[in-house]
Every structure is written in C-alpha cells, then in structure tokens.
Amino acid sequence: MAANKVKIATTSLAGCFGCHMSFLDIDERLLTLAEVVEFDRSPLTDIEHCGPCDIGLIEGGVCNSENVHVLREFRNNCKILVAVGACAINGGLPALRNFFKLEDCLLEAYQDGIGVDNPQIPNDPELPLLLDKVRPIHEIVKIDYFMPGCPPSADVFWTFLSALIEGRDPNLPYALVHYD
Amino acid sequence: MSGTLIIDGQTIPFSAGQTVIEAARTAGVYIPHLCHRPGYTPHGSCKLCTVTVNGRTCSACTYPAADGQTVVSNSPEQQQDRLRITQMLFVEGNHFCPSCEKSGNCQLQGVAYHLHMLDNHFPHFYAQREMDASHPDILIDHNRCIFCNLCVRASKEKDGKEVFGIAGRGINKRLIINSPSGLLKDSDISIDDSAAHVCPTGAILIKRSGYQVPIGERIYDHHPISEVACNAADTITEGNHGC
C-alpha cells in the first residue's frame, strides 16, 4: 500500500518552523492527506536522511553550511522541490542580518551582548559555520515551485499539495497569494 | 482633440490632452503602473505601463491618446514583462513584506499580487542604504525606494518645496534630501506635505502610524489593485489607493 503513496520530505533551514505549523493548520485534513502521502525525512518523522521522494518542502533560507548540505540532499532526492514561505523565497527577515558584518553579529551575540556569561564565539567543529549572508534557496539549487507567505496559510498548503499530488500545476487564487 | 481609441478590443473615449493611461483609467480600464499618478507630471521610470500603440511599444503614462489608436495592454508577453520588472524592483531593494508596516496597503506589493508573482526570480542585491529616522514625524527606509520620483514631484509641484531629488547613476542611484546635512530633519518637509504621503511603497512612512488597520481590512487584502485603482469613487486623494 505504501508503495503507491506520494512521498513527501520536509525540512526547516534558516526557518522558524512557522511554515510547518501553518502546514499542520490544515487540521483534520491531515488525516485525509495521510491516506495518500507518506512522509520521508521531516521534523515530524525520525528519518535522518532524505531518500527518493516525489515532493520536498523547504522552509527557511540558507544561513549556514549545514543548510547548504541539507538543501542539496533534498534537491538530489526530490522530483519536485518547493520553496515554502518568505525566508526560502527571499531570505526573509533573517536576511536583515545581511546589513551587518557576520563578525559583528557574532561578537554582539556571544561576546559583547548584555548578560553574556563566559564570552567567546563558539568554535567547535561540530557546529556549522555561518555564511556571510543569508540567501534564498533558489540561489543554491533549482526550485520548481514557490509558496509565498510568512507563513503561507493552511489553505495555501492544502491547495498546493492537492494539486501536486494529483499531478496538476498549482494555481493559487488572489486571496491566497500574500507575502506577509 | 478628442475621440475614441481601442484598448484590448474595448472602445473608450478620451478628451483633449489625455494620455493613454488617463483615458484608460477614466474608462475603468486598469493598466499596471507605479510611478504614474493622476494629477502629477508623467515620469516614465517604472515601465510597468508599457503598451503597444498601433504596433509601437511605448509608455501609456507619457503617450498622448489620439483618435483611432489601437492599444494592446494585456497580452501574455506584456504581463510576463511586467512580472519580470516587478521582480527586478523586489530584488533591487529589501522588500521584506512580513516586517513592513505598508504591507497590504503597498502599491508595489499590490501590483505583484495582481501579476500573480510567487517568487523573485533574480538573485538578491540586499541593498545597504542607510535609513533616515532623523525627522520627528517622518521616516525614510531607502531600501524600499523604487525611484518613482513621486515624492520629488509632490514636493516640487504640490508643496512648493524642493525637499527631494534623485542623485547618482545606475545602481548607485539614490533618493537625496535637500538640506545642509542631507538629513530629513533639516529639510523643509512637514507632516502635512503631499510628499510625506505620496510614496507608493514603504520607503517614506509617517512615524507611529503603523499597523493600525487589521489584516483583512487593508486596501489590497481582498480587492486586486486592478479593481481598487479604477474605482470611480477613488478620487485623487493622497491616500495610497493605487490610482
């Protein structure tokens, strides 16, 4: 039975998980969805790496090296890759840090900020290095579809996924297109 | 001279001295635009109102209407060009709508919604222009400026002042303030000036007036700019209705 299901992977890069929450806002329609889709790698599952999938949903922009690796893993495995939300589309509000030098951001957060205890910039190799700028995901890999919104509403997710699952091109009505 | 012209198959009248876009608006036909505004000298910078008149490409905001013209404004190619132009405007500045108090009431955003823009297509510039928060009542976020020149024209033509200008060339073009310090606080602008209210984007804002209108009641929440801009009741006020 599972073989016939549409496989969906999701991830949050430099996101706030708000897009995932908005996805869950489709509420009981999740049960309808669960009949036709199966989730691969996602914050909602325990699967560590993305396998071959039909649809990949990417929330968040790209802010560090791990984001780049994850994004490429998704691109390599997903037939259709979707940029979900303002951050994935244009970097979003995290890209406001592009106004500042990365070093200044780190110093402010870990060394000079108010209330910082034991000031030092974290440097364990376990930690992914930040990129100098936050970037939209379409500047790293090819993206097939875009779902605008901060976050896109539950109805956007529903309209979009319904179309993709049925093999149609998604078509959002005016009321569902917003950037805020 | 007056007479009729045909826009996308629809015959509409025009009166003497009207441009193509003015004739269209009078007849309730929307042609996308950002730098055009009724009652202001045409500017021709945004290029969104590009149409073909008798087969020639021109800006509807600067082209005089003439009897018997055949105007095409709504071809798929023209809409695609407008989409790309709008995306260029988005990537050139920092248009982070989720944190902009003009969201829902912004003509740039309204045009993008009208064109069904879902992404920005181009790589982002992430402009680094300084904000001017020096004035007690008026704020300028230069990273949202689309150089439509409306504030320049408003200050000169409506307010009888010359507070704003555009300086620099190419991508270094910028809005400048006519004051010894270059700051808005040292200029002649006042909160009652047309120039303080005419901005079609979130570049020039009145301080302490943001987020007053509930989501769902903002100008473009339910009605596309194509409807709002051509509403007969939408007279030429300083409200930002997309006319």
Q: What is the ipTM of this complex?
A: 0.94
Residue pair A66/A128 in contact (Cβ under 8 Å)? The answer is yes
- Which pLDDT does position B229 carry in this prediction? 84
Find the helix packing angle between B107-114 and B76-92, rounded to 10°. Answer: 140
Residue range B189-213, pLDDT digits in tens: 999 999 999 999 999 999 999 999 9
Q: Do B97 and A150 touch (CB under 8 A)?
A: yes
**How far apart are the C-alpha atoms of B66 and A3, rounded to whole Å?**
65
Q: Characterise A167 by phi-psi region: left (phi > 0), alpha (psi -120 to 50), beta (else).
A: left
Q: Who contacts A81 (Cβ-Cβ below 8 Å, separation ≥6)?
A: A56, A58, A74, A75, A141, A142, A143, A144, A145
Predicted confidence at residue B214, as pLDDT, reads 96
Torsions phi, psi for B100 (to 5 deg): -105, 130
**pLDDT tens string A64-93:** 999 999 999 999 999 999 999 999 999 999
- A6-10 average pLDDT score: 98
Average pLDDT over residues A43-64: 98
* pLDDT on residue B232: 43
- Minimum-distance CB partner of A93 among B99, B104, B117: B99
Q: Between B97, B116, B126, which is nearest A180 by CB?
A: B97
**A177 vs B contacts (CB less than 8 Å):** 113, 116-118
Q: Which of A86, A138, A145 sits opposite B98 (nearest CB)?
A: A86
Judge: B124–A92 Cβ closer than 8 Å, yes or no. Answer: no
Closest partner CB to A177 (pick from B94, B113, B120): B113
* CB < 8 Å to A86, chain B: 96-98
- B211, burial (CB in 10 Å: exposed 0-12, middle 13-18, buried 19+): exposed
Residues of A in contact with B126 (CB under 8 A): 91, 95, 98-99, 133
How do residues A122-163 score in pLDDT, each as one tens digit? 999 999 999 999 999 999 999 999 999 999 999 999 999 999
Handedness of CA A70, A73, A75, A78 (dihedral sign): negative
Q: Write out residues in chain B with pLDDT < 50, as ranges.
A: 232-238
Identify the closest residue of chain B to A135 by CA–CA distance: B124
Q: Are strands A78-84 and A53-59 parallel, antiparallel or unpaired?
A: parallel
pLDDT at A3: 63
pLDDT the model gives residue B230: 73
Which residues of chain B approach chain A closer than 8 Å at the C-beta? 90-91, 94-100, 103-104, 109, 112-113, 116-121, 123-124, 126, 128, 222, 224
What is the distance in angstroms between the Cα of B229 and the nearest Cα belonging to chain A?
A: 16
User: Which residues in chain B are closer than 8 Å to A156, comparing Cβ atoms?
Assistant: none
> Between B95, B116, B128, which is nearest A177 by CB?
B116
How confident is the model at residue B235, as a pLDDT? 42
